[in-house]
Amino acid sequence: MIAMRWNLRLKAAERGIWKSTEMRRLLADAGLEISAGKMSALWTGTPTTIRLDDLDVICFVLECEPTELLIREPEQVEARRPRKIQEANGGPPVTPRLGRNKSLPPA
């Protein structure tokens, strides 16, 4: 599992592109028509999926490589791992939740 952060706005700013509408127009000029909703998700850093063909056009417009747009966040992957695996790897121990006191089952 890979956790990534999307870095589109920073790369766009480095090219002097400050508004999502301007970026959307540049993408359209390069042959990629994006809906306003999808552009908003790309611009705000919350895309859930992106086609490789679209990524290629975005990189063409911004004159960058995909690795400059996608930043790995390995600590996010570790945080999502099941607790048993974390414990086996020296992670935080599982602490039981305290609820009502219950009697023991009959012997």
- Give, to the nearest 10 degrees, the angle between helix 52-62 and helix 20-29: 100
Would the pTM of this model clear 0.85, i.e. be above it?
Answer: no
DSSP 29-55: HTT----HHHHHHHHHT--S---HHHH
Q: Is the pLDDT of residue 99 over 90?
A: no
Q: Which two tokens stand for residue 43?
A: 């611009």
Domains, the chain, in order of start with CATH, read 4-80 (1.10.260.40)
**pLDDT tens-place string over residues 36-93:** 999 998 998 877 788 999 999 999 999 999 989 887 777 766 777 776 655 566 666 5
Measured CA distances, 8 to 19, 45, 61 (Å) = 11, 7, 11
